[in-house]
Amino acid sequence: MYAIRFWILGAAVLLGSGCPRKTTPPADKSPVTDGEQGGADVPVVELTREEARALSSQIQNGLGQMENNEAEAAIQVWSDLRKRFPREPAFARNLAISHVLKMRSAQFAKLTPDEAAKVADEAMRSIGDLRQLEPESWSPDFLTAEVDDKMYEPERRVESLKRVVEKAPEDPALWYKLFDAAQSLPGRSGADTAFAAIRKANQLAPENLFIFQKYLAFAIPRQEPGMEPVIARGLEEIRPFAELVSLRLRLDAVATLEQALETIRAGNLTDPSIISINGLMGFNNAFSSDDSAQSDLLRISRHPLSLISTQLSEGLQRQLDSTAPLASDAPPVTFSEWNAEAGRLAVPGITDFALQDFTLDGALDALVLSPGRLELFQHTDAGWMSAVQLDVPEGFDRLVVIDFDDDWQQYPIPRDDRTVLEYVHRSDLDVVLYGPAGLLAVRNQFAPATGARSLESIDAFSGVSLDGVGSVVAFDSDIDGDLDLLVSAADGPHLLINLGNSTFRAIDGMLYDVPAGLRFHSPVPVDFDRDGDVDVLVATADGKVGMFENLRHGVYRWRLVDDLPATALEVAELDGNVSWDLITAAHGTITVSKTRTVQRGDVQIVETIDLADAGDVAGLLCADLDNSGSQDLISWGPSSLRFWRNPGNGALAAADASLDAGALRRVAIVDLERDGVSDIATLTDEGLRFWKNGSTGGNGHLRIGLVAHTDTDGGVNKSRINHYGIGSLIEVKVGEHYQARVCREPQTLFGLGAAPGADVVRVTWPHGVPQNVIRPEANSSIMELQSLHTSCPYLYTWDGERFVFVTDLLWAAPLGLPDSQGGFVPAREWEYLKIPGSMLKPRDGRYVLQITEELWETAYFDQVRLIAIDHPAEIDIFTNEKVGPAEMAQPLIHTARNLRTPIAAASLDGRDILDELRHADQRFARTWTALHMQGYAHEHGVELDLGEDAARGAVKLFLTGWLMPTDAGLAIKIQQHPDLDGPAPPRIDIPDGQGGWTTALPYMGFPGGKTKEMVVDLQGLLNPDDPRLRIVTSQELYWDQIGFTLDEPNEPVVEQPLRLLSADLHYRGYSAAEPPIENGPERYDYSQVQKTPRFRPMVGRATRFGDVAELLIEADNRQLILTAGDEATLEFEAPLAPLPQGWVRDFVLHNVGWEKDAQLNTTLGQTIEPLPFLEMDGYPSRHPLPATDEHAEYLRRWQTREIRDVEFRRLLKGNLDSSQLHW
């Protein structure tokens, strides 16, 4: 097993730039980063205390502006500091980096060539100044290469990077940078340079899977004789991932590599199989975008922000250190025993406890575990009273609280109270016991009829045989909406997934690179590297810090952090810089490791603070003890309980406080009186004691309870998250102050200081979807919005007065979307959608369409055509569009002159719904009575009686409706549940003549997404003796109109393809939802727009803004790529000739393209690439799009807009007005 190695950068340490076996060497051995600068070289400028404070604030502002991508503001800060301190290398370095960041901004791409050249000259001057101060550093050449890149000087960029690797020849990340630059050069010389660079990178980092596949991409066509040992090593690295890769990418990676090795060892490098679709090129193309390879790409990506310097000259740093707030500046930490007599819970032999509202009555309960007994206590004026008891087997000495049965339905809500009470927790908390005997699940059961409560042990772990369990943590490992368990047992770690029926199954095959027998404690689920998924940090039994790195799809890879010894571990946001800090304890010392997250997946430790004389620390807990707005620290051990104050910058200092709590066995933080104050509970051999915190000094608080969405009418938790939102990221902005915490329990506390309230709260739910709450009340419950976050791009049209919402697009063409059977939803890239003429009128002789991307996804449009359909007013036209295979949706215009209404229509449970189906009037019929989850109902449908005439004629059904889909996470949930098969699309049943029904059409298709029309030809399907039919499904479908025609052939219409005059791509934002209609889909008001980012973006390169009409004319694999917030305005030429008398005009929109959502369970859903293409055999394709000069030119010319997540990630840290977050 390899460990991550931390590289000392002067006073800083680099974390997270490496693979699971860290391979990145020191960032830059320069006077700034190797600790050689000092007072001898930099004159000391004496500052007053006030000047030093102002300078410290200015430096922090400059760093924050760089990290927020506010390059212009950062340039002003560092330019001013350069003038005042011309010999400080850190200021020169950060100024040069800021100039480079300006060239990487979206604004730079809009500059004229002369304007761009001026910006580049300014950058080069600042880099020249840096070179004078750091003559031996490679940073100036690295930054020069960045300038060369943005000025389209590929040869100069390569030369700059050659100088970089000469100065840092052991850094694989820099060799990869040279490779990336050289591969864009034309001719043999560029290819040779690129191959030499990637070969060197592979030699330095042979375990990096991304470098490995890039090496293959160049080595295979060259028939490189040195491939054999590289492939053999790569095979061993990939072997643990083989099953996962096979599932996600539809190819057997191990067999492919083994076959290639046999071919090479046989000396047959010219064998065609080695470059066939089943050979290495197919493997290489598919694997390059796999999450495991993409994770390794993050490890060797070097961003200019990684070169930021925070180390000042010795004299200047000494003066800044003297201005740090002292612990004595803060009010004292004071605790007093709560209810000294009635408050104590004196149960002998308690081994563990939990303090929560287990009975959902709003009061704090105590669940205590002692040998052979689990007991629930409720507090009264007379003290703690036993309410429920359960005898349990010996061998269980610890517990973890988890809601594993989602039993909210046992708490019925009267309809009149529903508006208020839906925002209250209604699913009671259960518990899992663990210890030497293994695991035992205990359900917290309530009987509504009697009001009785009980604790019941259940068989939740059948088939799971574990003993010696020392630690358990509950979190949603696979993002399917329930809580799973990561367990440390005698034989090592185990991942147990929740099957959705109160049982768990071990899937240890999803834990990779784990040393045999690894045992851990102090687990902390947190998205430590800020890449959008939850990792788990742990302290190992042998005193180290490790991380189960989330590779998505329920897969975790072990990484060892070997420079941080730890017998206790905590993770917190200590200094408000949008980066998680580490707190560890070992050998009597607490170490605070303050970090900076440069980009997703890239975390640097920029400062370590040692707190000596901490005593024998067994546990660490963070809480805002004084509600000042910063997380303080509590450390405890058998003989000590200490408090450490945070002045706001993470520089923890010991507080002058003591608490005589006895010989401690456990300590917990609890809000005893629900007053927003962090109190303490302590466990000793005598039992539980409680301590009231008196340290807040009148500071305010914000208490947040997260609640999953529940649908009481549907009888189901429609949410895509667990009931309590455990694992959600909660961020709070109070003035200029930023706080962040991960939701670990039902209530999460934030201090507000002297502020009257918070300005903004952003909750990023466990499935990755954010939700903003503006100016929340002090005690706030936040319910997950039941709103689609992935679907498809939207279409708005000009109706003569305004732009109106029509429908969504590309619904039949999802990429990488898992289905409920363990495969992928098929994609059909073309569609023909009707636009009613009433919704599209000419404006200045042009038909104007707005195509927007407003959800958490990316759209790829290869072609967009608008076709005018002119026809007599007395007939209606319909397209043949429906979700289904190509053969059932072939382009065809259906007509209806006499659209008939069925004689009768009823839901399968007997409700008359004919009136709702008579007209397309947005009075939608809901035929289901119960849901399993969003998008998946118990079987339901419509029974239609078409009348006796229909039995003897040619019948076509004309249907208007919409579909609420499941999503990628729910598909995984269904796959795991042993009793669920997944939503079945509509079929048509007819009477069988014997009193029953038989299926006449197993699959009739369905309307995709928002309201759409579809046609089903019933000719030859109906029973001539009984013209009834049933449309049966378990999808969450809603119908607006169902009619039919009888013996009507399609009538001729006039089709006119309209010329695309212009297409402009630009950023727009997100439309506000219109007021909901009963049983109807979401609709949107184009006139109300929110500009700030709503979702974490999919990263990569998208189409540059401006004129993009050329990309939409033909389907040629040159796509227009829209990401969240983008809009394309399309204008088509309106025909000049007037319509004939009595004729009207409708339209058909023909699109060729795909859509990929960013859900964490979507294959390759976090990146824009790889791009789809017409000839692919699936997604990702096992064979690449042939490399041509034309396609390379398309990428160079059009796909130049770099999409990063920094704006979203640091949104609440920047200069944000809360009014920007709503419409």
Q: Does the pLDDT value for residue 415 go beyond 60?
A: no
Give residue 1074's Cα distance to chain centre. Answer: 26
Give residue 1135's Cα distance to chain centre. Answer: 46
pLDDT in tens, 254-299: 887 888 888 888 877 665 555 443 455 656 666 666 666 777 887 7
pLDDT at residue 283, rounded to an integer: 63
Q: What is the mean pLDDT of the chain?
A: 88
Q: Does the pLDDT value for residue 338 go beyond 50?
A: yes
In this structure, the answer to whether residues 920 and 819 fall within a common structural domain is no
Percent of the chain with pLDDT over 90: 63
**Rounded CA separation 39/982 (Å):** 69
Q: Establish how many alpha carbons lie within 13 A of residue 859's alpha carbon, considering only the half-sphere containing its beta carbon.
A: 29
In this structure, the answer to whether residues 637 and 592 fall within a common structural domain is yes
pLDDT in tens, 996-1048: 999 999 999 999 999 999 999 999 999 999 999 999 999 999 999 999 999 99
In this structure, the answer to whether residues 1162 and 1195 fall within a common structural domain is yes
**DSSP 8-state secondary structure symbol assigned to residue 746:** S
CB 482 within 8 A of CB 476: yes
285: alpha, beta or left, given left = phi > 0 and alpha = psi -120 to 50?
alpha
Q: Does the pLDDT value for residue 74 go beyond 90?
A: yes
Which of 398-412, 601-615, 1096-1110 shows the highest mean pLDDT? 1096-1110
In this structure, the answer to whether residues 978 and 839 fall within a common structural domain is no
Q: Which residues of 198-236 are buried (b: 16+ CB within 10 A; e: fewer)?
A: bbbbbebbbbbbbbbbbbbbbbbeeebeebeebbeebbe
Q: Is residue 505 part of a domain?
A: no
Alpha carbon separation from 629 to 571, 583, 594, 635, 911 (Å, rounded): 16, 18, 17, 19, 56
CB 28 within 8 A of CB 308: no
Which of 786, 813, 840 delimits the end of a domain?
Answer: 786
Q: Is residue 611 part of a domain?
A: yes
Q: Does the pLDDT value for residue 654 go beyond 50?
A: yes
In this structure, the answer to whether residues 793 and 778 fall within a common structural domain is no
pLDDT in tens, 792-838: 999 999 999 999 999 999 999 999 999 988 889 999 999 999 999 99
Which of 786, 807, 831 delimits the end of a domain?
Answer: 786
Instruction: Retrieve residue 894's tokens.
Output: 């259906």
**Rounded CA separation 541/490 (Å):** 11
**Residue with more model confidence, 1115 or 660:** 1115
Lowest-pLDDT range of 45-49, 359-363, 625-629: 45-49
**Residue with more model confidence, 179 or 425:** 179
Lowest-pLDDT range of 130-144, 212-226, 337-351, 573-587: 212-226
Beta-carbon count within 10 A of 1052 CB: 9
Strand bridging mode 904-907 / 936-945: antiparallel
**DSSP 8-state secondary structure symbol assigned to residue 350:** -
pLDDT at residue 39, rounded to an integer: 36
Question: Which residue matches tokens 């160079």?
Answer: 1196
Amino acid making up residue 1095: F
Beta-carbon count within 10 A of 1036 CB: 23
List, in order, residues 6 or more apart from 933 with CB less than 8 Å away.
481, 716, 717, 718, 966, 970, 973, 974
**Long-range contact pairs involving 119-128 (C-beta distance under 8 Å, separation at least 24):** 120/147, 120/150, 120/151, 123/96, 123/99, 123/147, 126/92, 126/95, 126/96, 126/99, 127/96, 127/99
Q: Is residue 1001 part of a domain?
A: yes
Beta-strand ranges (E) seen in 812-874 are: 830-835, 846-852, 857-872
Q: DSSP characters for 521-533?
A: EEEEEE-TT-SSS
**Residue with more model confidence, 302 or 862:** 862
Q: Does the pLDDT value for residue 322 go beyond 90?
A: no
Q: Is residue 932 part of a domain?
A: yes
Q: Which of 115, 167, 108 is nearest to 140 (CA)?
A: 167
3-state secondary structure of 355: strand
In this structure, the answer to whether residues 724 and 712 fall within a common structural domain is yes
Amino acid making up residue 1219: S
- Cis before residue 1180, ω within 30 degrees of 0? yes
**Rounded CA separation 274/826 (Å):** 29
Instruction: Retrieve residue 970's tokens.
Output: 């729910």
Which whole number is the average pLDDT over 1139-1147? 97
pLDDT in tens, 343-366: 899 998 999 999 999 998 889 999
pLDDT at residue 205, rounded to an integer: 92
632 pLDDT tier (thresholds 50, 70, 90) = very high
Q: Which of 924, 827, 925 is nearest to 883 (CA)?
A: 827
pLDDT at residue 1146, rounded to an integer: 98
**Rounded CA separation 670/744 (Å):** 12
CATH number of the domain to which 761 belongs:
2.60.40
Instruction: Retrieve residue 372's tokens.
Output: 């052979």
Q: Which of 848, 815, 842 is nearest to 829 (CA)?
A: 815
Q: Is residue 350 part of a domain?
A: no
State phi, psi for 852 to the nearest 5 degrees: -120, 150
Which whole number is the average pLDDT over 549-569? 87
pLDDT at residue 252, rounded to an integer: 76
3-state helix, strand, coil in the chain (%, to 5): 20, 35, 45
Question: Which residue matches tokens 């979700």?
Answer: 883
23 pLDDT tier (thresholds 50, 70, 90) = very low
Question: Which residue matches tokens 């809603």?
Answer: 1038
pLDDT at residue 1222, rounded to an integer: 58
pLDDT in tens, 198-223: 999 999 999 888 898 889 888 887 87
Amino acid making up residue 528: F
In this structure, the answer to whether residues 1102 and 1204 fall within a common structural domain is yes
Give residue 1066's Cα distance to chain centre. Answer: 24
Beta-carbon count within 10 A of 688 CB: 22
State the total domains in the chain.
4
Which whole number is the average pLDDT over 503-528? 93
Range of the domain at 1131: 788-870+1055-1223
Q: Is residue 96 part of a domain?
A: no
Amino acid making up residue 1041: Q
**Residue with more model confidence, 138 or 416:** 138
Percent of the chain with pLDDT over 70: 89
Q: Does the pLDDT value for residue 325 go beyond 70?
A: no
In this structure, the answer to whether residues 679 and 715 fall within a common structural domain is no
Strand bridging mode 555-561 / 511-512: parallel
Residues in the chain: 1223
Residues paired with 390 in a beta bridge: 374
Q: Is residue 1201 part of a domain?
A: yes
pLDDT at residue 951, rounded to an integer: 82
696 pLDDT tier (thresholds 50, 70, 90) = confident
Which whole number is the average pLDDT over 723-737? 92
pLDDT in tens, 1061-1075: 999 999 999 999 999
Instruction: Retrieve residue 121's tokens.
Output: 């000259």
Q: Which of 816, 666, 831 is nearest to 1156 (CA)?
A: 816
Q: Which of 1114, 1034, 1129, 1122 is nearest to 716 (CA)?
A: 1034
CB 694 within 8 A of CB 336: yes
Amino acid making up residue 534: V
Residues paired with 750 in a beta bridge: 702
- Cis before residue 1170, ω within 30 degrees of 0? yes
Q: DSSP characters for 32-64?
A: TTSS---TTTSPPPP--HHHHHHHHHHHHHHHH
Which of 727, 760, 786 delimits the end of a domain?
Answer: 786
Q: Is residue 448 part of a domain?
A: no
In this structure, the answer to whether residues 831 and 907 fall within a common structural domain is no
pLDDT at residue 1052, rounded to an integer: 94
In this structure, the answer to whether residues 819 and 907 fall within a common structural domain is no
3-state secondary structure of 97: helix
In this structure, the answer to whether residues 779 and 643 fall within a common structural domain is no
In this structure, the answer to whether residues 624 and 737 fall within a common structural domain is no
Alpha carbon separation from 242 to 22, 256, 511 (Å, rounded): 22, 11, 13
pLDDT in tens, 952-972: 889 999 999 999 999 888 888
**Rounded CA separation 291/555 (Å):** 10
Lowest-pLDDT range of 118-122, 308-312, 842-846, 887-891: 308-312
CB 737 within 8 A of CB 751: no
CB 548 within 8 A of CB 557: yes
